[in-house]
Structure 1
Amino acid sequence: MLKWLFGANERAAGGPEPPAGARQRISRQSLDDASRIVHIPELNFIGHQVRSANGRFILLWRDGNDAGTVGGARQSGLGRYYLVDGDLVVAVGQVERPNDGRVANNGTFTLNDWRFTSELCGMFLAFRADGSPIITRTFAANIFDSGLSDDGRYAVCQACNAPNSEDSSRLVIFDLEAGIETGSCVPESGWAARYEFPADRPVVRLLYLKGEGFDYGLDGTFLDRDTWVEASLAKGDVYLVQKLFRATGDAPSPELANRLLISLDGFLVNADALDPHTRALALKLKGACCEILEDFPKALRIYDAALALDPKIGVKRRAEQLRKLTGS
């Protein structure tokens, strides 16, 4: 009884016992598995892993309960994560549904918590190498993806589309050294495939599957917008042209309207095999550009061509107004 009491007092004086697995060493054979899914027998763990760029730190996480009886979408059973420095577990924790882990060269790490609820929501979490929290940011939307600079200074995450939510499609940028959110935006260039943090300037670069990359300032300002506009127009993609048109409040400058016309003409040359609605949309946009350039007879002819393809394309009233204006 005395031994039990003294033992209890000793633990109380030294603080709470560390979580299971903390300060435990793991065999290199388990850690050197190059696959994304790993088995760590010492931790009774099967889950995901990601390494820091310098190879020092490994972040492990499992979107399932400790018993291994339930995983993925569920209503209970906390997931678990571990941070390993070399072969030593230095941080352990639990959140509802840990996913998309990132770890920096200094051990700073991030996770996206997909939460138990079926509602559109998520939580972005950032921690120091000792497991202490830096940032907890909740979203009224699911989280699409995240990024972390190699030095652990900056992080980003972007939400999925969530109708009627102010977080819908929002990209949020964090300075983890200062422990603050520095800015956010809904990127005109869309959801990125991955993120870079150039060492020579304070920006976040959004990278896309076709190799394109566009810089955003830490406050969310789109720094490479002109470059993106030119790249989008060069593609001749009618939906990108529509997006550019709307970004101006449906009132592009005459200079931009001319550039849009060139892009739309290039699209329409090769659009014969496309569905009538898509071709009609391109004609609708072309007619709108002609209106901005005050070539009203040409705009009317193009609107009529669009209506012949798709009577519901949305320019019937405008065509009638132009018919009266031009006396056609």
Structure 2
Amino acid sequence: MGWFNALFGKRPPGPPPLPSTAIPVPAVVEDRFFSLEKPQWFGPSTCSPNGRWLISWRDSDPSGSTGGARTRGKGAYLLYDVAGKRVVLQGRLERPNRGHVADNGTFVLEDWHFANELAGTLYAFDAQGHKLLARRLSANLLGNAVSANGRYAACQTASSSTDDSVRLFLFDLASGQQMFAVRPSADAWTMDLAVDESPVGVIAHIKGLGAFRYDADGTFLDQVELEQAGLARGDYSRVIRMAETLVQREGVSPAQLREVLTAVQRARREGADDDRGWAAAALKVQGLAYEALGDAANAMAMYEQALSINPKAGLKRKLAALQKRHK
């Protein structure tokens, strides 16, 4: 019945919101924390892109004396009309966290739940308090986003022992349906998401590297761009992980292998050589790149150095085979 409701503008009822405040309410936002005198309120907040709406939440019991992990005492949230200076609606969830709000007042919140199991629920409500989505996931939530016009929402999960483990989700809030659930590349993982509406897709903002896109089907479109950014600007651990993936890829070109060598050398200078584990990994990648380029002498030298640091680097057979061929 999701398409029928979307077509005729009907929404499944959510918990009834508390009455909106009729008179203007002075509010203060400082360092992303929102405060009111009446009703008395203090909690983290985010604003819509157009600045019209603000969503704020409080992961503590009504008295404010108990917050975070607990077994009772629901937290609260409120939607504030910045232009009208009034509280539009208030509601309660067990442990509301990480809210985002669209230009039309549609907002999303994570509920981290009272229970100790790895689970969370992504909620979406419109500006009238109608529930658009309540998706319980059997993994902890790590972040979410809503599109600027309020049509789509995305979230991501942490590791668990279920099918919801380490997944990126996109939902259509008009129908309440899931559009995709994909396991992102480890190198494309992020807690900072955005959602586009035209074309529909999820944007992963990775600190220090840039923005990279998933399409409406969950296909990651910018793998090449991510790899180039990672090799050029990533920290040493990311460079080495990405370089090892590239160097073992079928059809990698000599030019790409030389880029890998340059990047790994930089990674070693920028800290990898100070960590025995990463130093051995970097030497291994250099050896693989040299071997793929046909430079057996340098490949053997790299393998020998890596094994001297970490005898379990998985290179003994490769080194022995090279030494036998080039004795």
TM-score, with structure 1 as normaliser:
0.81
For 1:80, the aligned partner's letter is A
CA contact (8 A) 1:238 1:282 kept: no
| Correspondence for 1:166 among 154, 163, 168 | 163
Q: Distance in 2 between matches of 1:262 and 1:282?
A: 11
CA contact (8 A) 1:236 1:264 kept: no
Q: Distance in 2 between matches of 1:27 and 1:35?
A: 22
Q: Distance in 2 between matches of 1:322 and 1:107?
A: 64
Q: Distance in 2 between matches of 1:234 and 1:327?
A: 34
Q: Distance in 1 between matches of 2:282 and 2:154?
A: 35
Q: 142-151 or 44-53, which moves further after superposition?
A: 44-53
Q: How do 1:143-154 residues align onto structure 2 when only pairs under 5 Å count?
A: 143-154=141-152
| Correspondence for 1:54 among 50, 56, 74 | 50
Cα 1:217–1:157 shift into 2, 3 Å: same
SS of aligned partner of 1:305 = helix
2:66 matches 1:70: yes
Alpha-carbon offset, residue 230 of structure 1: 1.1
For 1:58, the aligned partner's letter is L
Cα 1:266–1:49 shift into 2, 3 Å: closer
Q: Distance in 1 between matches of 2:272 and 2:201?
A: 42
Cα 1:131–1:265 shift into 2, 3 Å: same
Bigger radius of gyration: 1
2:19 matches 1:22: yes
Alpha-carbon offset, residue 19 of structure 1: 5.2
2:220 aligned partner:
222
For 2:208, the aligned partner's letter is K
For 2:44, the aligned partner's letter is H
SS of aligned partner of 2:129 = coil
**RMSD of Structure 2 on Structure 1 (CA):** 3.0
CA contact (8 A) 2:151 2:197 kept: no
Q: Distance in 1 between matches of 2:66 and 2:273?
A: 49
Q: Distance in 2 between matches of 1:271 and 1:65?
A: 45
Alpha-carbon offset, residue 271 of structure 1: 6.0
For 1:62, the aligned partner's letter is R
**Cα deviation 1:285-305 (Å, max 9, x = unaligned):** 122233444555543332112
Q: Distance in 2 between matches of 1:214 and 1:73?
A: 34
**Cα deviation 1:79-112 (Å, max 9, x = unaligned):** 1222234344443322110011111111110001
Cα 1:59–1:271 shift into 2, 3 Å: closer
Q: 215-224 or 309-318, which moves further after superposition?
A: 309-318
Q: Distance in 2 between matches of 1:35 and 1:238?
A: 32
| Correspondence for 1:133 among 127, 131, 134 | 131
For 2:140, the aligned partner's letter is N
CA contact (8 A) 1:236 1:266 kept: no
Alpha-carbon offset, residue 320 of structure 1: 2.9
For 2:156, the aligned partner's letter is Q
CA contact (8 A) 2:240 2:264 kept: no
CA contact (8 A) 1:26 1:42 kept: no
Q: Distance in 1 between matches of 2:270 and 2:78?
A: 53
2:318 aligned partner:
318
Q: How do 1:167-246 residues align onto structure 2 when only pairs under 5 Å count?
A: 167-188=164-185, 189-192=187-190, 194-198=192-196, 201-210=199-208, 212-235=210-233, 237-244=235-242
Alpha-carbon offset, residue 236 of structure 1: 6.7
- More RCO (CA 8 Å, sep 6+): 2
Q: Distance in 2 between matches of 1:265 and 1:76?
A: 54
For 1:117, the aligned partner's letter is A
2:111 matches 1:80: no
Unaligned runs of 5+ in 2: 1-14
Unaligned runs of 5+ in 1: 1-17
Identity in percent: 34
Q: Distance in 2 between matches of 1:115 and 1:253?
A: 48
Q: Distance in 1 between matches of 2:247 and 2:265?
A: 22
Alpha-carbon offset, residue 284 of structure 1: 0.8
CA contact (8 A) 1:283 1:303 kept: yes
Q: How many residues align?
A: 309
Q: Distance in 2 between matches of 1:300 and 1:60?
A: 59
Alpha-carbon offset, residue 242 of structure 1: 4.3
For 1:133, the aligned partner's letter is K
2:269 matches 1:274: no
| Correspondence for 1:103 among 97, 101, 104 | 101
TM-score, with structure 2 as normaliser:
0.81
CA contact (8 A) 1:175 1:181 kept: yes
**Cα deviation 1:45-90 (Å, max 9, x = unaligned):** 3323333233332323221122333221101111122223434444
CA contact (8 A) 2:231 2:239 kept: yes
CA contact (8 A) 1:19 1:92 kept: no
CA contact (8 A) 1:236 1:263 kept: no
Q: Distance in 2 between matches of 1:21 and 1:197?
A: 30
Q: Distance in 2 between matches of 1:178 and 1:249?
A: 44
